[in-house]
A and B are shown apart, each in its own frame.
Chain A
Amino acid sequence: MAAATAGGVGVALQAAEVLESILSGSVGPEGRQVLCTKPTGDVLFSRDGGRLLEALNVEHPVARMIVTCVSMNQNVTGDGAKTFIILLCDLLRGLKAFTEKERGSFGGSIPSQERHWKICCQWKYISQAILTFQAHILDYIMTQYLRKHFLSIFSFSGEEKKVCRSSLESLLDAYFCGRVGRNNQKFISQLTCDYFYKCLQHEDGKDEMIDLVDEYFLELCTAVTGLPVSSSKIISGFVIHRDFSVYCPADGDMRIIIVTEPIQPALSSSGSELLINSEAQFQASHIWITEKTKTIMKDLQSKGIKLLLSSVKQQETVIYYAKQNGISVVEYIPSEEISLLCRIISLSPFMPSWATSVCHISDTALVTFCRPILLNSRRYVHLGLLSTHSFIPHCLILCGPVQGLTDQHIRAFHGAFKVLRQVFKVLYLSYKVQRSNQNETSNSINSKENKQSHHLIEVYRALFEKQHLDSFLISKDNPSRTQSHLRDAPDLVLSSMESKNDIPSTTLTQTPKIKEDFESLLCSYPNKIGIVDTKEPLVAISCSCSGDSLTDIPDEHLSVIEQTCKMSRTTIDMKSKEVLQDPSQSYCTSFIQAGSVLPVGGHFEILLHYYLLDYSRQCQKPELQCLEMPNWDASLPGTVYLSFPYLHHLQCFVQ
């Protein structure tokens, strides 16, 4: 049993590490494409983490669960699959190291029964700690510390809040850097940006527009193989992926209707019986059917209908009379396209009624043009739709030499809109600010550079007391537990620092300091919690920054990252002030503002790491040490946020 539990994290880590090693090749701007072949002979290119994981068909149950979690997460966020795996791996790795260390402290003399029980307790504790960490600390750090580093995608000009095009461009650039081949990144990103602005009616409708595009993306784009990627374009209107059954050229605005069932009445309807007594009767009923169809089509013409869109096959008679009356017909339209059309032009399908002599046409709509368009050596129907209040209909034509590539671009494009949807959404966090006094909050934020305000100390204290109580409760049952836990904590800091820094001198100079800090913290709790040396964190961040760079990436990128950090620094100063002065700062539930973005290149991870370290020094929370990971992916706060609940679930499972 003990082995099984011990295997729990080990196995999970093993599975996650395998996945990590598979994905590591395609992370970041230097990542490369992966080719997926299918037994049918199809080939597919991908740099999309979620797609690759799905293609793997993993067998191991834990790995399969991880893959499911990743895909679910990516379905919402559109990005972050690779980040997810890397984060998960490092968390598991940290936990493993931590528990092994602790297990060593149990000693070999304890009977196995007791040992097992201890291990179970330990896992229970860790699981709860992670939950608490996710719900309170991480969200707290996110709102209180990282907030000041958030840039906004909006530009504020007076009262108006507008999406800043250059910010949007750089956001998309960063996103596509990790998703498509590097010779097309710029082009595709530009195309996405253009598409966004072309479809956008006005700023307020952008959420609705993005939702619509996201939901019906596959209908809105057409893949064309055999042309170079640079031939991709945006066309106005909507492309129905079917050909005309009847095409009658017409100029100007046209009235259209949509039908979802055959116009021609059937000889017998389902569930009924038709008794034929004579040949003449049979002929007469046929003639009646034709007559009826003729009148309906005539009627449609008299109402000025020029185009009939049908989701089903219509009888030849209908086609014939449509042609006679100058009505163009498109048949077999997929139901998704019909529902998108209905939504854009707010039109309900027409129901032919055969009982009355004049049929009642409930709903018609106008289109500006309707003509054939040749794509992919096939003729499709190109409709000029009038724009709704939020969406100006535009279609995407994505070209590529092979289908695998166009698929990749479609998926990346779709993901980009999911990302945009996340960006423009306010993200509510589970952490609650305990006091909503506006003045105090803003004061605390303004004084952040020097020391924590009283208010924040209170929060810390509350958290710390709670946690202390927890560990105390455990220690009642198991006296050695707290002791070992406390003793282990500083060592763990040391080990994690060592593992992450290749420069031993830095580590050596720093660890005693941390140790001191910890000890003093422990001795003088709770009086010293609020006191933080302002110099030390700065050392910590620069050290962790260089340490990461050394272990994980070649030197040449170091400068790039530093530059990004610097650049973002300067912009933060400008932007964060705007954010801070925003009167909407008084809140009860904490949230991340809509449009918040962070610079890429691991900046987010480094910042988070720094604040966690800083925080852990104050609160003594060793698990936090595990959460340090270098990563050069596009990082949106939402992405990481959403991944944490899954991390927690995973932990529960591991128990």
Chain B
Amino acid sequence: MSRVKAKTPSLCTCELLTKEIVSKSLSGLREIVASCYGPSGRLKQLHNGVGGSICTTSSSSLLFNNLSVTHPILKILTTSVQNHVSHFSDCGLFTAILCCHLIENFQRLNLSSATVIKVSNHLLSLCTDYLNSETCGCRISVDFSNMKTLHCLVQSILTSKPACLLNKKEADHISTLILKAFLLTIPEKTNDFAILGKSLIIPLKGERVMDSTVLPGIVIEMPEVQLMTFPIKKLPSNALKVALFCISMSGEISDSGEGTLIVTYGVSLENAVVDQLLKLGNQLISDHVDIVVCQKVIHPVLKQYLHQHHIVTIDRVGISLMEPLCEMTGTQPIGSLNFISPTSYGYVKDLCYTNFGSKPYFHLIPNDSTVCSLLLCNRNETSWNELKLTCQTAQHVLKLMIREPLALLGGGCTETHLAFFLSHKVISVPECVLKANDCTQTEYKIVANAFCNALQAVACSLEHDKGKILADRKYGHFWSVQPDFPPNVKWQDLVSKCGCGLCSNKEELNWCLLQSIHSASQNSPLQQPTNSLKDHLTLDCFTAKLHGLQVAVETASLILDLSYVIEDKN
């Protein structure tokens, strides 16, 4: 009872929500995330005070997982970004930066939060409607018959994470592998609905990136003790019979119920169980099984017995491999040690022992299956982790692409384009919109301006080297100029293409500095670039970015709506 303590009363405070404190902590977070953004983003090294692993990263998921923030507002922001990333894997940094900018910009306005929230909600609906419409100038549809767009998409994701430490050739190689693995998971024959297969990532740390490869089937690391090779007798059909067990074969006594067992002296239950295991082994032998795979542990006696009969045993494969194994071999995981139905066996085409790097592996080669293994190499632990995360992002994005085959222009072009679109749209706001949002024309414009500025600021945070940032008024794309160009050259001649690579500097584009378009608002509607797709585009996932935009605005509204904080200190 001494541990029971009366609850202390909560603290009710609005101190934490004063503009100064909020903007101070927000700008701190914003500087951290904004400096990570894009291909030239700066890396962050994360380590805690008591040692432990050090991680070098510029990805939002690792950053926010390791960043412990104290201010409740930052907590909301990081949690909402983490939740977004758990759904879409991509666009975490974009969401975080946009949200920070939105809150900061809106706080600077001297308007009531009610107006700001309503208007920004309306602006968001304008954006989403535009992005979802056919006339949208900053999205392109992805053609699955032509791999070029998909390749660009994957490559953009890889190059946006400099902590992977890939050079151009390596990035190209890895993105080809990711695409290949993705294509292998698509089933050839489909009925009404297709189920995608799985591509497993196998870690090979310390190898050269160019050694990474994709293999059909499953690669399982072989424990050293099992290192023995014997010829496998093949079935006439040239396939190997597989039995997959999901229960433990370690010879433990299974659950005996709630009552008590009374064992007479001299009776050994362990022996009884092992006896039973050997009987099972006999059945496996008589059924001509070639490979026995077990999720858990196989008793050494049984293992030995099976080896004597030239049956390969693979145990401790773990739950995560069970589903791909079932799918690849067509087995049913066996959950009984007494009876095995002949229908629960499956087949593989071949089993190889191979060495990758210095480690031996089993390679189960399927007949025809949608399971493949991506052997991913990178030089060291931390860059491998980043590469793995990026590959998973790319795989996820490719899956999202099937549902919605659309991509948005990357490299800051979507943000600038949207900002231009909005600033053109708010030149004349219909009376009914103002009435619905309960605000005046001026108020609406002020909020819209802050919104556009936040979008542009996101695009501008792609530039980390103090370069000049421009936008064109014709297409509304993003252009950046190197900071140290020679004085005798006109900067207009230095830029060759925009951030996403869709537009080139060949026509009259009516430039302006990006941060100043709000002063001279956009008068003419934006045009669609007419030229065909270029080879090297920077692209973003449409679904992830659209949701990121929505989540950022919603989170910002949520934070702006707060009036005070109740702190429970128990």
- Check B332–A401 contact: CB distance below 8 A: no
With A266-B255, A279-B275 as contacts: A57 and B121 at CB distance below 8 Å: no
- A282 & B269 in contact (Cβ 8 Å cutoff): yes
Q: Which residues of A contact B547 (CB under 8 A)?
A: 227-228, 231
Complex contact B336–A35 (CB within 8 A):
no
**Shortest 9 CB-CB contacts between residues of A and residues of B:** A266-B257, A268-B259, A320-B335, A226-B83, A270-B258, A316-B335, A228-B550, A401-B80, A32-B563
A58 engages B9 (CB within 8 Å): yes
B251-267: which have CB < 8 Å to A?
254-264, 267
> Which stretch from B456-464, B525-533, B552-560 is at the chain A interface?
B552-560
Chain A: CB-nearest residue to B84: A226
Is A324 an interface residue, CB under 8 A from the partner? yes
Separation of A318 and B257 alpha carbons in the complex (Å) = 15
Contacts of B333 in A (CB 8 A): 320, 323
Chain B nearest CB: distance from A180 CB in Å?
A: 10
Interface presence of A377 (CB below 8 A): yes
B80 touches A402 (CB 8 A): yes
In addition to A36-B565, A226-B84, 10 A-B residue pairs with Cβ atoms within 8 Å of each other are A22-B566, A30-B114, A56-B566, A57-B8, A226-B85, A272-B260, A294-B339, A317-B335, A321-B336, A401-B84
B355 is an interface residue with CB less than 8 A from chain A: no
Chain A contacts with B in 1-42, Cβ cutoff 8 A: 22, 25-26, 30-39, 41
CA–CA, A283 and B275, complex, Å: 9
Is B3 interfacial (CB-CB < 8 Å)?
A: no
Q: What does the 1/0 interface line of A244-285 toward B look like (CB < 8 Å)?
A: 000000000000000000000011111111111111101100
Complex contacts, A316 vs chain B, CB 8 Å: 246-247, 335-336
What are the residues of chain B within 8 A of A242 when measuring CB–CB?
A: none
Is A78 interfacial (CB 8 A cutoff)? no
Given A57-B10, A274-B259, A319-B335, A183 contacting B557 (CB threshold 8 A): yes
Q: Which of B86, B121, B337, B570 contacts A226 (CB 8 A)?
A: B86
Alpha-carbon separation in the docked complex, A317 to B79 (Å): 41
Q: Is B354 an interface residue (CB 8 A)?
A: no
| A275 touching B262 in the complex, CB below 8 Å, given contacts A35-B564, A269-B257 | yes
Chain B residues within 8 Å of A57, by CB: 7-10, 568, 570
Report yes or no: B267 in contact with A282, Cβ–Cβ below 8 A.
yes
Q: Enumerate 6 A-B pairs (CB-CB under 8 Å) in ascending A order.
A: A34-B563, A41-B75, A316-B247, A320-B335, A324-B344, A401-B80
**When chains A and B are docked, how far (Å) is the Cα of A606 from the Cα of B379?**
76
Q: Chain A 29-66 against B: per-residue CB contact (8 Å), 1 yes, 0 no?
A: 01111111111010101000000100111110000000
- CB of A287 within 8 A of CB of B558, answer no
| CA gap between A269 and B257 in the complex, in Å | 6
Roughly how many angstroms separate A183 CA and B337 CA in the complex, as a whole number? Answer: 59
Considering the chains assembled together, what is the distance between the CA atoms of A269 and B255 in angstroms? 11
* B-contact bits for A586-616, CB 8 A (1 contact / 0 none): 0000000000000000000000000000000
Q: Which residues of chain A in 384-419 are interfacial with respect to chain B, using CB atoms and an 8 Å cutoff?
A: 400-405
Q: Could you tell me which B residues sit within 8 Å of A by CB distance?
A: 7-10, 12, 72-73, 75-76, 79-80, 82-88, 113-114, 117-118, 120-121, 246-247, 254-264, 267-269, 271-272, 275-276, 332-339, 341, 343-344, 547, 550-551, 554-555, 557-558, 561-570
Asked if A39 and B568 sit within 8 Å, CB to CB, the answer is yes
Q: Pick the residue among B72, B257, B332, B566 that contacts A267 (CB under 8 A).
A: B257
A517–B95 CA distance with the chains assembled, in angstroms: 68
Given known pairs A35-B564, A230-B550, the reply for A59 and B263 (CB within 8 Å) is: no
Measured between beta carbons, the chain A residues less than 8 angstroms from B84 are 226-227, 401
A402 touches B555 (CB 8 A): yes
Report B-chain residues with C-beta under 8 Å of the C-beta of A320. Answer: 246, 332-336, 344
CA distance A272 to B262 in the complex (A): 10
| Contact (A37, B86) CB under 8 Å given A57-B10, A279-B271 | no
A279 touches B258 (CB 8 A): no
**Which residues of A sit under 8 angstroms from B336, Cβ to Cβ?**
290, 316-317, 320-321
Which chain B residues border A282 with CB–CB below 8 Å? 267, 269, 272
- In the complex, residue of chain B having the shortest beta-carbon distance to the beta carbon of A41: B75
Q: Which residues of A contact B88 (CB under 8 A)?
A: 226
Please tell me the size bucket of the interface on A. Answer: 35 or more
Closest to A268 in B: B259
Known A-B contacts A183-B117, A279-B267; A324 and B551 likewise in contact (beta carbons under 8 Å):
no
Interface pair A33/B255, CB less than 8 Å apart: no
User: B341–A274 contact, CB under 8 A?
Assistant: no
Which residues of chain B are within 8 angstroms of A275 by Cβ–Cβ distance?
262, 264
* B558 and A401 form a contact (CB under 8 A): yes
- The CB with the most chain A CB atoms within 10 A, among B7, B87, B120, B268, is that of B87
B552 to chain A, nearest CB (A): 9
**B residues less than 8 Å from A405 (CB atoms):** 558
Report the nearest A residue to B341, measured CB to CB.
A324
CB closest residue in chain B, given A284? B272
Q: Within 8 Å CB of A323, what residues of B?
A: 332-333
Kindly state whether residue A182 has any CB partner on chain B within 8 Å.
Answer: yes
- The answer to whether A225 and B83 touch (CB under 8 A), given A268-B258, A274-B261, A320-B335, is yes
* Contact A26/B563 with A58-B9, A226-B87, A320-B336 known, Cβ cut-off 8 Å: yes
A229 at the interface (CB under 8 A from B): yes
Q: In the complex the two chains form, is A45's CB within 8 Å of B558's CB?
A: yes
Is A513's CB within 8 Å of the partner chain B? no
A181 within 8 A of B: yes
Chain B residues, Cβ within 8 Å of A403 = 79, 83
A283 touches B272 (CB 8 A): yes
Q: Give Cα A280 to B269, complex, Å.
A: 10
Give the chain A neighbours of B118 by CB distance below 8 A.
182-183
Question: Does residue A286 face the partner (Cβ distance < 8 Å to B)?
Answer: yes
Cβ of B86: which chain A residues have Cβ within 8 Å of it?
226, 377
A267 touches B567 (CB 8 A): no
Residues of A close to B570: CB separation below 8 A = 39, 57
Note all chain A residues with C-beta closer than 8 A to B337: 286
Known A227-B547, A274-B260, A279-B272: A34·B565 in contact at CB below 8 Å: yes
B70 CB to nearest chain A CB (Å):
10
Whole-angstrom CA separation of A43 from B88 in the bound complex: 23
Query: Among the listed B83, B267, B554, which residue makes an inter-chain contact with A278, where contact means beta carbons less than 8 Å apart?
Result: B267
Q: In whole Å, how far is B179's beta carbon from the nearest beta carbon of chain A? A: 24
Q: Within 8 Å CB of A25, what residues of B?
A: 563-564
> Do residues A324 and B332 form an inter-chain contact, with CB atoms below 8 A?
yes
A322 to chain B, nearest CB (A): 9
B522 to chain A, nearest CB (A): 26
Cα A275 to Cα B117 with chains together (Å): 74
Complex CA–CA separation, A228 to B341 (angstroms):
48
A613 to B8: give the CA distance in the assembly, Å.
44
Pairwise interchain contact B565-A37, C-beta atoms closer than 8 A: yes
Query: Is there an interface contact between B339 and A290, defined as CB atoms closer than 8 Å?
Result: yes
Kindly list chain A residues whose C-beta atoms are within 8 Å of the C-beta of B564.
25, 34-35
Residue from B72, B267, B568 having most chain A Cβ neighbours under 10 A: B568
What B residues does A283 contact at CB under 8 A?
272, 275-276
Given contacts A273-B259, A279-B272, A401-B80, contact A32 B554 (CB under 8 A): no
Most buried by B among A286, A290, A405: A286
Contact of A35 among B254, B256, B343, B565 (CB under 8 A): B565
A620 to B495, CA, bound (A): 87
Distance in Å from the Cβ of B439 to the closest Cβ of chain A?
12
User: Smallest distance from the beta carbon of A105 to chain B beta carbons, Å?
Assistant: 39
CA of A45 to CA of B558, assembled, Å: 9
Q: Give Cα distance in the complex from A385 to B180, angstroms.
A: 41
Cα A315 to Cα B247 in complex, Å, equals 10
Please measure, in the bound complex, the distance between the C-alpha atom of A277 and the C-alpha atom of B550, giving whole angstroms.
70
Chain A residues lying within 8 Å of B255, measured Cβ to Cβ, are 266-267, 315
Query: Which of A36, A38, A181, A229 is within 8 Å of B561, CB to CB?
Result: A181
Known contacts A226-B83, A290-B338: A182-B561 contact under CB 8 Å: yes
Minimum distance in angstroms from B243 CB to a CB of chain A: 12
Bound complex: CA of A570 vs CA of B523, how far in Å?
Answer: 47
Contact present for B558 and A55 (CB under 8 Å): no
Instruction: Report the separation of the CA atoms of residues A316 and B245 in the bound assembly, to the nearest whole angstrom.
Output: 10
From B79, B247, B341, contact of A402 by CB (8 A): B79
